Every structure is written in C-alpha cells, then in structure tokens.
Amino acid sequence: MQLDRIPFVLLFVVLGVVGCEPPPMTENGVVGVFGGTGLGEGEFSYPRAITAAADGSVYVVDKSARIQRFGVDGVFESGWQMPKKTAGKPIGLTVHKDGRIFVADTHYHRVLVYDATGQELARFGEEGMGDGQFQLPTDVAIDDDGFIYVGEYNGNDRITKWSADLTFVKQISPPEIAGLSMVRPAAMDFDNEQTLWVADACNHRIIRLSRKGEVMSVFGERGTEPGQLRYPYDITVTPEQTLLVCEYGNSRLQWFDKEGKSLGTWGGPGRDLGQLWSPWGATVGANGDVYVVDSLNSRVQIVRR
C-alpha cells in the first residue's frame, strides 16, 4: 500500500463516521436511562426515592408504593409492594451496609425494614409527635455504629435517633438552627467523618450536624444560581466526600464541597436526556455513576461525570 494515501483513506473513514448520528446515550454525561411511565416491571409511576447498594444494585420507590430493584445498568431484577398505600406512599429509601433496606413509610408514620428480596424484617414508629413516634418520616441515615436517624416533617420537623435494635434513643435536632426551625428535613447522609448532612428542604439549605445534634455548619439560600438551592429533596455524600444535592425546585443536581462551595450543577428543567423534571432523589452507585430519579419524567438517568 502506498503510504501517502493513508491520510486520504483515514479521511474517508472519519467522514463516514462523522456523518453519522452521535451515539444516543452521551447527552451531557448521561450513560443510561431506565424506567418509563407504567406499572409494569421496570416502569415507574412518579418515582420519588432511590438508594444504591454496595453490590451495585439500586432500589427505587414510586407512587404506586412499589420498591423495585435494578442492576447497575438499570435492568429490572425484582420488586415488591408496600403493605399499605391508600393513605400515601413512601418517600425515603436507604440501604444499610449489611444490605437491609430501610423504607420511610411516610403516610403510615413508620419505618419498614426489608431484606434484599423484599421480605419484611422489622418495622418501627407510630403516629404522633412524642418519643418513638413520627408525623411524616422522610428519610433514614445510618452511622457507622449502627444508629439509625430518621427525619420527619409536617408540624414535627425533626431528626430522631434510634438504636440498632430499633428502639428510640432521642431527638437530636435542635429546635432552631441559625435562627430557623427545620422545615422538611427531606434527606440525610453521613460522611466519612461521621457527621450528618441534612437537606433542610423548605429552608433551601444544607445543615451539617454532629451525631449528638450539634450544628457544625449551615449553607445555602433560596435561589437558582450555582451555590443557591430550591427545595433540596435529597443529599448524598459521594465517595470523594463531596455532597450531591438533588434540587426539586430547580430540577437539577448540584455538587458541593464540605465548605458549601458549589462544584457544579447538572440538569435543568425539561424532558430531554440530560434534563430533569421535578426530581426527588439521587444517589451514587457502586461504580461511581450518579443515579437520579427524574420523577415527573418517570425515569432514572445514569450520569457519569
């Protein structure tokens, strides 16, 4: 072959490739999407919470009160139905490091514990505002010592601490933080320093608490600019120890460092890939990809950054 003709051959090949449509799954870092509106396996009816297990699987709960388990690539694996759903559907999911799944069964004022197959293992909490009671539980976080922390809202906006054997310990959240009571602590997560990060959704801010409930820092204000928040409905500490915040009001994800500096945003309102419509939750999978619950689009987008 004559060497001086190689560039031309390559040029033709490049032209051929460039003339094609780009691969569909690379829009703004989206490497996968799954779900779709429906009640069949792998479909969603307004999904509202997501959590990732260490084995790579992710769990999603939607407004049909179904919890579905998916593989790392979004392939449906199994699912189960919550025992009751008439009064309302769960809005919080958390996987314990031992594989148990904690479900904030919001409108039944309790937390249900399942194994990975959907077998109910335990439940705790009852309606009320006292010790051991919940108004509307939102989310569960578990520290390295196995203590369980539950957030709740609707007139009783607080975080309570429970022992590993599911008995009430105490309320840890202070009545006021930076002059404001918490309003809808929608999500929580622990970092590697064992401090609790709380999404104080209706105050549009993020709160850092010690396990005793001491306020370590607060950041965020209502707004649409980077660094500002509107209804942060979920917060997850990434493996790099940054904070991944899912904003229901701004239909976007936003990353922060622990000092509250915005590291970037992703998404924005819309229906295309790479856009979100009133997302309720996001999590980081075992492979480092971000799984975001695109609620009104009834899908989960997998984002690689």
* Binding residues for other proteins (CB under 8 A): 1-2, 4-5, 8-9, 12-13, 15-17, 19-21, 37-41, 43, 64, 85-88, 107, 136, 153-155, 157, 183-184, 201-202, 230-231, 233, 248-251, 269, 277-278, 296
What span, in angstroms and rounded, lies between the C-alpha atoms of 44 and 295?
9
Give the largest Cα separation in the chain, rounded: 85
C-beta of 79 vs 147, nearer to other proteins: 79
What span, in angstroms and rounded, lies between the C-alpha atoms of 49 and 73?
18
What span, in angstroms and rounded, lies between the C-alpha atoms of 72 and 69?
10
Assigned token pair, 91: 């809005």
Asked if 302 contacts 60 with a C-beta cutoff of 8 angstroms, the reply is: no
Provide the minimum distance between the beta carbon of 256 and other proteins in the complex, in angstroms, as a whole number.
20
Provide the minimum distance between the beta carbon of 55 and other proteins in the complex, in angstroms, as a whole number.
24
Provide the minimum distance between the beta carbon of 75 and other proteins in the complex, in angstroms, as a whole number.
13
Residue 294 DSSP code: E
Angle at 56 between CA 52 and CA 61, to 5 degrees: 35
Angle at 241 between CA 238 and CA 242, to 5 degrees: 75
C-beta of 90 vs 284, nearer to other proteins: 90
Provide the minimum distance between the beta carbon of 36 and other proteins in the complex, in angstroms, as a whole number.
9
C-beta of 65 vs 142, nearer to other proteins: 65
Provide the minimum distance between the beta carbon of 253 and other proteins in the complex, in angstroms, as a whole number.
14
What span, in angstroms and rounded, lies between the C-alpha atoms of 228 and 221?
5
C-beta of 179 vs 239, nearer to other proteins: 179
Provide the minimum distance between the beta carbon of 74 and other proteins in the complex, in angstroms, as a whole number.
15
C-beta of 79 vs 132, nearer to other proteins: 79
* Rounded alpha-carbon distances, angstroms, from residue 198 to 20, 48, 185: 46, 17, 6
C-beta of 19 vs 175, nearer to other proteins: 19
